[in-house]
Amino acid sequence: MNIYHLDHLQYLETEAIHIIREVAAEFERPALMFSGGKDSICLLRLAEKAFRPADIPTPFLNVDTGHHFPELNTFRDRRAAELGGKLIIRRVEDAIRNGIAIPNPGEISRNKLQIPTLLAAIEEFRFDCCIGGARRDEEKARAKERFFSFRDAFGQWDPKNQRPEIWNLYNGRINPGEHMRVFPLSNWTEMDVWEYIRREKLEVPTIYFSHRRTCVRRQDQWLPVNDLIPPKPGERVRELVVRVRTIGDIISTGMVESPADTVDDIIAEISAARVTERGSRADDKSSEAAMEDRKKQGYF
Amino acid sequence: MPPSSSPPASAAIPANHPVEILRFNTCGSVDDGKSTLIGRLLYDSKSLMEDQIETLERSADITGGGQINLANLTDGLRAEREQGITIDVAYRYFATPRRKFIVADTPGHLQYTRNMVTGASSSNLAVVLVDARLGVIEQSRRHTYLTSLLRIPHLVIAVNKLDLVGWSEERFLEIRDAFESFLPLLDIKDVKFIPLSALNGDNVVDSSKHTPWYNGPNLLAHLETVHIGSDWNLHGFRFPVQWVNRPNNPRNASLHDFRGLSGQIAGGIVKVGQKVMILPSGLKSRVKEIWTLGGSLPEAFCPQSVTLVLEDDMDVSRGDQIVGLDLLPGMSTDLHAQVCWMNPRPLQRGRNYYLKHTTQTLQAIVTSLENRIDIHTFEPQPDPAELGMNDIGEIRIKTAKPVVYDGYGTNRLTGSFILIEQGTNQTVAAGMLMPPQEPVRPEYNDFAI
């Protein structure tokens, strides 16, 4: 191997930086989705690499379901402030109050309600592009999505009619009312994300590391006990040493029993894991096409 | 499913962690077993997780009569599973202790050229599947031709379903001979033929006991060892300016006059102090600094993303190209290229499109259609009336501003473009530029230095 050679993380990094700069150059009003989760933490570092020493030219956008882990929101707010970025938060709670999002009676999950909330935010700020941290290895429908994923005036993804994406030539042209979702981490795996966090010494929220938590056994998972889903009589409740592998809402994120309290431990744990990251997300399990259906409506 | 527990110590990170990425794509006709092959690679290399296998088993009960259908791993869309076909390119990721792999599964039927070009444009290697019962068919020729056209450095011909022809060496050699009769007409340097059965896993990850007459590597062993170190172009510095970096209100006063040119190096190597030329203006300067977040670099190379600071303050913006003086590119408003047409509305002379090349998008008009390739003979047929969906041909284009370029055979990044239909904004063509007639002759000489 010669010295003019990139290892896999450097290759993924240069690919992602190129994509982020294309967005800054080709769109009028792009936003960067930042939740405080591990993928968007990498995304922020890549944005720094793409734009420094200038400021990151995009605001940060987060849709708050009201069911976020509090640790995550604290981290999100602090990181955005440290980077000197403008953080825009739009809440599902408000969308429900304004009639933009209409909850399904009896359904506690706000997963689907994120869709109208996000689309309303895109309309409010006239964002023509949203950069997100989704990865193709997360899920089968995502495995089919382009780096530049076109959304029509209704925010819909049409998987059967995607633009060809060739070499590093991304077609970002849209008509008014349409927008683009751009995924610079498309080619990254869960392992790549953690290796990048280790290499770049990136801080992540504490819930990724091992901690004690009271959990309830439900749908073959340990869910964190909280006010939204109080344990029912007869359910098993235990205090366990756990961490999260992927962060969704607090009512649907399975806690993984784990002693891993450093990034090295997490990497060792993932390399030996026998279930995928999203195996601990109840929202993807409802049917084989759960993600595809949500994406067609405008989900990330 | 049980929650994943802490790992057994024996299964920790492999000692030689993968450091290199190999990108490959699989192509073939419908039912050649592409998705099954990828499924097999993932399954046998233990890249599948329990919940993925569980999902497979769940869908097998419904659709597969109890047998696990490995194709369901890549066929991610509802319509694909219902129809048992692959609609769009699917990407998969797996790693062995030696390498990381990005796999593009490119479907073989409708819009096959579009899909293959999407999946293969940045591949190091293409796997063309052939059904041993059917031998070389039109799609095999088309995919092999596209592999050559896209200058994918390595080709594997996977002769699949060999179990269905009784593991016949004779049949394998017949198919190899059929390919070798036309391979010399193409521009492919490295070809490997591998006999296999994706369904049963023979010669995919584990070498088969059914092919004692075959001494070569199995597919995974080949993917792990094929040399890809020289697949990027390191000759002739090319830097399409992507974004001008000017801090607005720098807290650091030394950055007040900072004017960086950000982009991804599309060819060659750049060093601090090196003399460079900006095109199309022809102005010259020297590289003062190679700025990155992690600190300044003494040199940088393709395909790194960096920010260059030049010694002279001059007018440079997105779409300009900074190049080394040793190997100069071509520059013209008249372009000659091969294109793959990917739209139901045919390409005709006189049509206007947007042409995106490196970091610039220009108005362009198609001035002539030189030929259309007959995929059966690979012979160009001159003066076609139009190029239809999936057609490949040579065209001439006039652009509103000069394009700074290399031949696609020399540099895949500065020798390629896409055409975008005005109005619908659809990407309608992938273009590969012919080598320039002569290198650029800048009108400015050494005044700037």
**Do B164 and B196 form a contact (C-beta atoms < 8 A)?**
no
Nearest to B243 among A10, A21, A276 (CB): A21
Per-residue pLDDT, B78: 65
**Mean pLDDT estimate for chain A:** 91
Interface size A-B, in CB pairs within 8 Å, comes to 223
The residue-averaged pLDDT of A158-162 equals 84
| Residue found under tokens 């020297």 | B286
Task: Categorize the per-residue pLDDT at A83 as very low, low, confident or very high, splitting at 50, 70 and 90.
Answer: very high
pLDDT at B210: 95
pLDDT over 50 (residue B16): no
- Computed over every residue of chain B, the mean pLDDT equals 87
Indicate the range of A49-53, A175-179, A237-241, B61-65 predicted with least confidence.
B61-65
**Inter-chain residue contact A165 with B8, CB threshold 8 Å:** no
Chain A segment 58-77 residues within 8 A of B by beta carbon are: none
Most confident residue range from B52-61, B220-229, B337-346: B337-346
User: Do residue B2 and residue A272 have CB atoms under 8 angstroms apart?
Assistant: no
Flag whether pLDDT at B66 surpasses 80: no
Chain A from 91 to 150: CB within 8 A of any B CB: 136-137, 139-144
Alpha carbon distance B143, B138 (integer Å): 9
CB-CB neighbors (< 8 A) of A165 in chain B: 118, 427
| Range A166-197 burial, b when 16+ CB lie within 10 A, else e | bbbbbbbbbeeeebbbbbbbbbbbbbbbbbbb
Tell whether the model's pLDDT for residue B275 goes beyond 80: yes
> B256 versus A117: which is more confidently predicted?
A117
Instruction: Tell me: pLDDT of B204 over 50.
Output: yes
Across B157-163, average pLDDT? 96
Amino acid at A87: L
| pLDDT bucket at A3, cuts 50 / 70 / 90 | confident
Residue B182: CB atoms within 10 A of its CB come to 16
Confidence (pLDDT) at B4? 37
Report the C-alpha dihedral over residues B421, B425, B428, B431, rounded to 10 degrees.
80
Give the per-residue pLDDT at B84. Answer: 58
What are the b/e assignments for B224-236, b being 16+ CB within 10 Å? bebebeebbbeeb
Distance, in Å, from the CA atom of B159 to the CA atom of B204, rounded to the nearest integer, reads 11
* Contact of A73 with A64, CB cutoff 8 Å: yes
In angstroms, the CA B318 to CA B281 distance is 13
Chain B contacts of A280, Cβ < 8 Å? 3
Is residue B43 a contact partner of residue B70, using CB atoms and an 8 Å limit? yes
pLDDT one-digit tens code per residue, A243-253? 999 998 999 89
Taking only the tens place, the pLDDT of each residue in B429-443 is 999 999 999 999 876
Backbone φ and ψ of A63, nearest 5°: -95, 115
pLDDT in tens, A170-216: 999 999 999 999 999 999 999 999 999 999 999 999 999 999 999 99
Percent of chain B exceeding pLDDT 90 equals: 65
**B7-11, B114-118, B341-345, B440-444: segment of lowest average pLDDT:** B7-11
Q: Answer yes or no: is pLDDT of A26 > 50.
A: yes
pLDDT at B8: 36
Letter for the amino acid at B421?
A: E
| Cβ pair B392, A144 in contact under 8 A | no
- Across the interface, of A7, A159, A271, the residue whose CB is closest to B12 is A271
Q: What is the pLDDT of residue B2?
A: 39
Does residue A277 register a pLDDT over 90?
Answer: no
Written as six digits, the tokens of A293 are 């259906």
User: Does the beta carbon of B47 lie under 8 angstroms from any beta carbon of chain A?
Assistant: no
Contact (Cβ atoms closer than 8 angstroms) between residue B77 and residue B91 = no
Three-class SS of chain B: CCCCCCCCHHHCCCCCCCCCEEEEEEECCCCCCHHHHHHHHHHHCCCCCHHHHHHHHHHHHHHCCCCCCHHHHCCCCHHHHHHCCCCCCEEEEEECCCCEEEEEECCCCCCHHHHHHHHHCCCCEEEEEEECCCCCCHHHHHHHHHHHHCCCCEEEEEEECHHHHCCCHHHHHHHHHHHHHHHHHCCCCEEEEEECECCCCECCCECCCCCCCCCCCCHHHHHHHCCCCCCCCCCCCEEECCEEECCCCCCCHHHCCCCEEEEECCECEEECCCEEEEECCCCEEEEEEEECCCCCECEEECCCEEEEEECCCCCCCCCCEEEECCCCCEEEEEEEEEEEECCCCCECCCCEEEEEECCEEEEEEEEEEEEEEECCCCEEEECCCCECCCCEEEEEEEEEEEEEECCCCCCCCCCEEEEEECCCCCEEEEEEECCCCCCCCCCCCHHHC
Q: How confident is the model at residue B108 (pLDDT cuts 50, 70, 90)?
A: low
CB neighbour list of residue B181: distance below 8 Å, 6 or more residues apart: none
More confident residue, B202 or A285: B202
Which residues of chain A neighbour B343 with C-beta distances below 8 Å? none
Q: What is the pLDDT of residue A123?
A: 95
Average pLDDT (B329-357) is 96
So what's the pLDDT on residue B414?
Answer: 97
- The two tokens of residue A280 are 């601990």
What average pLDDT does the segment B33-41 reach?
83
Q: Do domains B238-324 and B330-433 have the same CATH topology?
A: yes
Residues of B in contact with A27 (CB under 8 A): none
Tell me which of B290, B427, B428, B432 to substitute to probe the interface with A (most A C-beta atoms closer than 10 Å).
B427
For residue A289, pLDDT over 70 is answered with no
B249 pLDDT higher than 90: no
**Among A112-116, A295-299, B376-380, the least confident range:** A295-299
pLDDT at B32: 76
- Can you say whether the dihedral through the CA atoms of B170, B174, B176, B177 is positive or negative? positive
What pLDDT score does B304 carry? 97
Q: What is the pLDDT of residue A215?
A: 95
B323: CB partners within 8 A, 6+ apart: B236, B237, B238, B239, B276, B277, B279, B329, B404
Distance from the A64 Cα atom to the nearest Cα atom in chain B, whole angstroms: 27
Are A25 and B247 in contact (CB < 8 Å)? no
Picking from B75, B93, B258, the nearest residue to A189 by CB comes out as B93
Q: What does the domain layout of chain B look like in residue ranges?
A: 16-225, 238-324, 330-433
CATH class of B238-324: mainly beta
B13 in contact with A, Cβ within 8 Å: yes
pLDDT > 80? residue B190: yes
Q: Which of B62-71, B228-237, B286-295 has the lowest mean pLDDT?
A: B62-71
All structural domains of chain A with their residue ranges: 8-195+288-297, 203-281
Bridge partners, B104 (sequence order): B25, B91
Please list every residue in chain A whose beta carbon sits closer than 8 Å to the beta carbon of residue B238. Answer: none
More confident site: A217 or B248 = A217
Residue from B297, B288, B243, B234 nearest B265 by CA: B234
Confidence band for B59, pLDDT divided at 50, 70 and 90: low
* pLDDT beyond 90 at B372: yes
- B residues 409-428 closer than 8 Å to A (CB): 412-413, 416-418, 420, 425-427
Categorise residue B176: left if φ over 0, alpha if ψ from -120 to 50, beta otherwise: alpha
Cα gap B120→B98, rounded to integer Å: 22
More confidently predicted of A190 and B35: A190
Percentage with pLDDT > 90 across chain A: 74
**Res B85: pLDDT:** 56
B253 inside 8 A of chain A by CB: no
The pairing of beta strand B299-301 with beta strand B125-131: unpaired
Fold of B330-433: Elongation Factor Tu (Ef-tu); domain 3 (2.40.30)
Task: Note the CATH number of domain B16-225.
Answer: 3.40.50.300
Nearest-by-Cβ selection for A8 from B20, B293, B418: B20
Contact A166 B427 (CB under 8 A): yes
Q: Does B445 touch chain A (CB under 8 A)?
A: no
**Band of the pLDDT at A133, cuts 50, 70, 90?**
very high
Task: Closest CB to B342: pick one of A164, A175, A271.
Answer: A164
Determine, for residues A164 and B118 on separate chains, whether the beta-carbon distance falls below 8 Å.
yes
CA angle centred on A17, ends A14 and A21, rounded to 5°: 140
Query: Residue A117: helix, strand or coil by DSSP?
Result: helix
Strand, coil or helix: what is A223?
Answer: strand
Categorize the per-residue pLDDT at B60 as very low, low, confident or very high, splitting at 50, 70 and 90. low
Query: Which range among A72-86, B101-115, B219-233 shows the weakest confidence by mean pLDDT?
Result: B101-115
Give the ipTM. 0.91
Q: Is the CB of B354 inside 8 Å of chain A's CB atoms?
A: yes
CB–CB of A259 and B117 under 8 A? no
Work out the pLDDT band at B5, boundaries 50, 70, 90: very low
Give me the mean pLDDT over the A33-59 stretch. Answer: 96
Do you know the residue count of chain A? 300
* Chain A residues within an 8 Å CB radius of B302: 4
Mean pLDDT of B271-295: 96
User: What is the mean pLDDT of the segment spanning B299-322?
Assistant: 96
- pLDDT attached to residue B252: 77
- Cβ contact B79–A257 (<8 Å): no
CATH number of A8-195+288-297: 3.40.50.620
Predicted confidence band of residue B88 (pLDDT cuts 50, 70, 90): confident
Do residues B416 and B434 lie in contact, with contact meaning Cβ atoms separated by under 8 Å? Answer: no
Please answer yes or no on whether B243 and A25 come within 8 Å at the CB atom.
yes
pLDDT at A294 over 90: no
Q: What is the pLDDT of residue B6?
A: 37
